[in-house]
Structure 1
């Protein structure tokens, strides 16, 4: 009887460990617009490929940027088993771009969630912060594994593409918010930061002592290339990564990849998805 009980416990612990292995990503999907359609990069031809890419890589949780409400509906129809969290940045409801978080709803339940505006004056209502050209938001969720009970926080953002001060102060704000909100709970931060790994605003996050870039932590790295491709199949030269995934110390990073897939001589978005495989524990 004791041997049987021990075997059951060992099996359960093995299953729990496996269930806490996660595929996580950040993906700027490019907002739908007529100009892209005219150039042959319309959302209607892109999103089926994006959905296939997501399903093929079996992403557990991923952050998106630039997605409009109707694009979210298209993805919802194309991604059975996924749900999303988020609001439009322009009105706090459905207008403007989302920084939506997608998750596998059969694996995770949402404990709580929310969105804050990256601003020095008002983080609870739509507004532009500092020298930002547009309103910018960070959407977050606390997710719980339905089988193991493992709980973690997921933050996803899109920083301004113009305001230097806005990006610097947004980095400080996000680090401050995470410190304030999460305590000791494992945390993931994803997003299009519009800054590469050599920028001072990147260092605010990576040197915070709270989070670290998965690229730095991963023993296996695929395609050390820029993450922004301008819809060019050949991509861009150099190594400027503006899309990042940061994790707290509870996570082990097993693999990191910038997925430079193309289809029919085109790429699914003007950014490549960044995908990491994480496990929990030492």
Structure 2
């Protein structure tokens, strides 16, 4: 009997030894589209500070919003360690804003990718419900090249006008996560254009599918809200940029990065949200 118990314990220890805790750094960043009326905050002036921030923070993957094709090319040129996925929302190619996902190309293998529109017809560039603009969600299935850990990342930008559109978009994305990822670990990042007190945020956070990393992280650094309108004097607790996680991920750190340059300028009119998560993966 004792020998049998010893053998079982040994098997359990061997199984535990083959599973290790891994760490991943994630972010979501609305970079502000290249608006020619932005003079002091022109894209060309902001670009090097924005990409330097990303490199310094050493994100493994990050979702972006409001990215025009020329900005996508500019960022790719300054971030050679990253590959990216995504399409323009206006034609499914290069027109309109992207919700691109960037990932470290030496660390992750892209298994699948796609984009769906936030509308009853998810396959065409259309506006959904009462939305003012076409809205999309870009997704990728990734695999860690060392451990084989496989996961999904979804990245989106909800409409800024349509209340019904935001509500239905939240329901649609939850359905897509359940349908596509199933029990596979999943991440949802984005600019949701609503804060933590809003109905569509609550739909996501209380769904039982995913939780906002802010609500469960062990260490939280949130000196401000996430939208700054290029004004660092704006003070709010309103968070409209979020990262939601399935239960496979344990957020250890959450931060709203309020970096500035040039005497108080911000790289975007949104502050990026950055998190560190732990997860278990087989060696």
- Does the TM-score normalized on the shorter chain lie above 0.5? yes
Which residue of structure 2 lines up, in the alignment, with residue 257 of structure 1? 255
Residue 71 of structure 1, CA deviation: 0.3
Distance 1:94 1:84 in 2: 14
Q: 3-state DSSP class of the match of 1:17? A: strand
Distance 1:199 1:183 in 2: 26
Which residue of structure 1 lines up, in the alignment, with residue 225 of structure 2? 226
Q: What stretches of structure 1 move > 3 A for 4+ residues in a row? A: none
2:132 equivalent to 1:129: no
Distance 1:262 1:80 in 2: 23
Residue 223 of structure 1, CA deviation: 2.2
Question: For 1:124-152, what per-residue CA distance to the aligned partner results, in whole angstroms no more than 9, with x for missing partners?
Answer: 01000000000000000000000100000
Which residue of structure 2 lines up, in the alignment, with residue 185 of structure 1? 184
Which residue of structure 1 lines up, in the alignment, with residue 71 of structure 2? 71
Distance 1:210 1:170 in 2: 15
Which residue of structure 2 lines up, in the alignment, with residue 3 of structure 1? none
Residue 237 of structure 1, CA deviation: 2.4
Q: How many residues align?
A: 268
Which residue of structure 2 lines up, in the alignment, with residue 212 of structure 1? 211
Distance 2:74 2:183 in 1: 36
Partners of 1:252 and 1:281 within 8 A in 2: no
Which residue of structure 1 lines up, in the alignment, with residue 33 of structure 2? 31
Partners of 1:227 and 1:271 within 8 A in 2: yes
Q: 3-state DSSP class of the match of 1:26? A: strand
2:108 equivalent to 1:105: no
Distance 2:132 2:221 in 1: 33
2:44 equivalent to 1:44: yes
TM-score by length of 1: 0.92
2:15 equivalent to 1:17: no
Q: 3-state DSSP class of the match of 1:140? A: strand
Q: Which runs of 5+ in 1 are unaligned?
A: 1-8
Partners of 1:64 and 1:191 within 8 A in 2: yes
Distance 2:20 2:61 in 1: 17
RMSD: 1.8
Question: For 1:53-102, what per-residue CA distance to the aligned partner results, in whole angstroms no more than 9, with x for missing partners?
Answer: 01101100000000000101100110011000000000000000000000
Question: For 1:26-57, what per-residue CA distance to the aligned partner results, in whole angstroms no more than 9, with x for missing partners?
Answer: 00000001111x2x000001111111101101
Over alpha carbons, which structure has the higher Rg?
2
Question: For 1:157-196, what per-residue CA distance to the aligned partner results, in whole angstroms no more than 9, with x for missing partners?
Answer: 0000000110011001000111111111000000000000
Structure 1 residues 138 and 206: alpha-carbon distance in aligned structure 2, compared to 1, 3 A threshold: same
